[in-house]
Amino acid sequence: MATAVLTAMALQAGPANAARPAPGAAVGVGCGTNVGRVPLDTTYNTATGRYELNDPQRGNHKTYDMNNSTTGPGTLVTDDDNNWCEGGRQSDAVAAHYIHAVFWDYFLSAHGRKGVLGDGRGGCSRVHYGVNYLNAFYDMTSSCMTYGDGTQSPLGSLPRIDVGAHEMAHGVTATTADLSYSGEPGGLNEATSDLFAAAVEFHAANTADPGDYLIGEKAGPGDGTALRYMDRPSRDGASKDYWYAGIGELHPVYAAGPANHFFYLLSEGSGPKVIDGVSYDSPTYDGRPVTGIGRTTAARIWYRALTAYMTSTTNYRAARSATLAAAADLYGSGSAEYRAVGAAWAGVNVT
């Protein structure tokens, strides 16, 4: 259908104009770091005769090359023919542009949210930030997702879907519950980023980086280890599987453990299983089995809780109340979903 229309337009335009691309929205293809061959929404600039990583379908999100500086606007990444498989520096820009797109698409389809900040603006992504900078972050001031070039363990080469989605989800939290970044609220802040990172990764259905309940998997020396494991967070050697008084004294990344574990239990249930080729074995605090209600439903409940009930001071006990209230709103207080939320929290010792 689309091909037929394009052919007809080309015939009408005649040979003189046939080689000149239409201004504005275009669809290219790119080869991105860690994500393989992906479609790209771009913009053709008639003034320069080049395609730009400017996504007209998602709030004009733009991707810049920081040229290894940590200051300045960087350079809008462009290409001559809308085939972004040059390799080298272009690969990270392609991946960053694509990761923003899959993040946007997940939040719009799953939660009706338009963009990181929820206002329909695309903001930007920045790659090649600093010199061998081994991290990634979302900057609220510039509304820019930013990736360094660090290539050694533990993050592996950046960007990747779950890392980018984790950081951009911090922007979602900052504009909704605004959970503070310390104590138990800090753990819930980190868990919110981890669980939406997993949800985005599954939703992207990228064959080069399939969805899983691991964060930063296959990073480092290539031995299959991940930064974090949602089925049993203690697998990373530092995160906690269950809530206890004083867990808020840990760094938020590790205090997130029980909430990540809650999300896994609520989605998939307890016990050993293999999901899309990845093996999990999720225990519960009291040894009682938990039956999952699916990741889509679990994420809907968490998003409702995050946007309607959680605040900067929400702790684990209040997160339980918030998610129960969200489940009651969405499915009813007598629903199986509501009961599953209570069972999953009991599984991580929040009662």
**Choice between 217 and 231, CB closer to Ca ion:** 217
Question: Which residue has the CB atom at the shortest distance from Ca ion?
Answer: 162
User: Which runs of E-coded beta strand occur in the chain?
Assistant: 24-32, 36-45, 50-52, 54-55, 61-65, 75-76, 78-79, 83-84, 124-129, 136-139, 144-148, 214-215, 228-229, 271-275, 278-282
Question: Shortest Cβ distance from residue 166 to Ca ion (Å)?
Answer: 9
**Choice between 64 and 202, CB closer to Ca ion:** 202
**Choice between 41 and 217, CB closer to Ca ion:** 217
Question: Shortest Cβ distance from residue 326 to Ca ion (Å)?
Answer: 25
DSSP-assigned states of every residue in 137-179 = EEETTTTEEEEE---STTT-SSP-HHHHHHHHHHHHHHTTT--
**Choice between 143 and 282, CB closer to Ca ion:** 282
Residue 27 CB coordination number (10 Å): 11
Residue closest to 210 by CA, chosen among 167, 266, 274 = 274
Half-sphere exposure in the Cβ direction for 169 (13 Å, CA) = 29
Question: Shortest Cβ distance from residue 81 to Ca ion (Å)?
Answer: 5
Question: Shortest Cβ distance from residue 273 to Ca ion (Å)?
Answer: 17
The residue behind tokens 């929205």 is: 25
* Strand duo 124-129 + 83-84: pairing: unpaired
Interface ranges with Ca ion (CB under 5 A):
79, 81, 83, 162, 201, 212, 214, 217
Question: Shortest Cβ distance from residue 160 to Ca ion (Å)?
Answer: 8
Residue closest to 32 by CA, chosen among 205, 206, 186 = 206
Q: What separation, in Å, do the N-terminal and C-terminal C-alpha atoms of the chain show? A: 56
**Choice between 79 and 184, CB closer to Ca ion:** 79
Question: Shortest Cβ distance from residue 46 to Ca ion (Å)?
Answer: 18
Distance CA 95, CA 209 (A): 12
Give buried/exposed letters for 282-309 (b at 16+ CB in 10 A, else e). bbbbeeeebebbebebbbbbbbbbbbeb
Spatial CB neighbours of 67, under 8 Å, sequence gap ≥ 6: 74, 75, 128
Question: Shortest Cβ distance from residue 174 to Ca ion (Å)?
Answer: 22
**Choice between 149 and 194, CB closer to Ca ion:** 194
Q: Which amino acid is at 304?
A: R
**Choice between 118 and 210, CB closer to Ca ion:** 210
Distance CA 112, CA 12 (A): 39
Question: Shortest Cβ distance from residue 69 to Ca ion (Å)?
Answer: 24
**Choice between 124 and 163, CB closer to Ca ion:** 163
Q: Is 94 helix (H, G, I), strand (E, B) or coil?
A: helix
Question: Shortest Cβ distance from residue 30 to Ca ion (Å)?
Answer: 9
**Choice between 78 and 143, CB closer to Ca ion:** 78
